[in-house]
Amino acid sequence: MTDLGIDFAQKVLDEQPFSRLLGARITAFADGAATLEVDIRDDLRQQFGYAHGGLLAYAADNALTFAAGTVLGPAVLTGGFSVQYLRPARDGTLRAEAYVVHAGRRQAVCRCDIYVVGKHTGSAADTADTADAAEGEGGAELCAVAQGTILTAPPRTDA
């Protein structure tokens, strides 16, 4: 377990130009778990008005890696991951909660649950589009689940 705190994690995130472009933030980072959030801005949507699947994949990738970083330290890289989409996310904030399932010396396997929270802030018509409107104002709905492997970074010559 490393001593890195959430300020360190947010600093690393801020050093990722792509994460700044998307407006991501780290809201939890400790003890084998990390949470990354992204507000669903209009420029992050796909053609039907939902958050783009690629945005959810970004959130999964990064949250998995930060969760692993809490136990493997800062020198990590993502080996790969699998993501399944469950529901479209229209409004509010994507919250990717990742946690370490198992960590060895060379890699960690993590899972991630991606929720949309504080949604239904749009018009009534938007809300009516969804099958799950009853879950209602401000609730958290599971939008995607992911599972992946994060490696300790090798010397720079072995990518």
Residues that bind its own copies (CB under 8 A): 12, 15-22, 42-47, 52-55, 57-62, 65, 77-88, 101-102, 104-107, 109, 111, 129-132, 142, 144-147, 149, 151, 154, 156-159
Which is nearest to 148 in space by CA: 86, 57, 82? 82
- Name the token pair of 130: 């969804």
DSSP 155: P
Q: Shortest Cβ distance from residue 87 to its own copies (Å)?
A: 4
**Closest to its own copies by CB, 87 or 118:** 87
Q: Shortest Cβ distance from residue 5 to its own copies (Å)?
A: 17
Q: Shortest Cβ distance from residue 24 to its own copies (Å)?
A: 9
Check: CB of residue 63 under 8 Å from CB of residue 97.
Answer: yes
**Closest to its own copies by CB, 20 or 31:** 20
Give the strand pairing for 24-30 and 33-39. antiparallel
**Closest to its own copies by CB, 3 or 48:** 48
**Non-local CB neighbours of 121 within 8 Å, separated by 6+ positions:** 91, 92
What residues form DSSP beta bridges with 117? 93, 140
Q: Shortest Cβ distance from residue 54 to its own copies (Å)?
A: 3
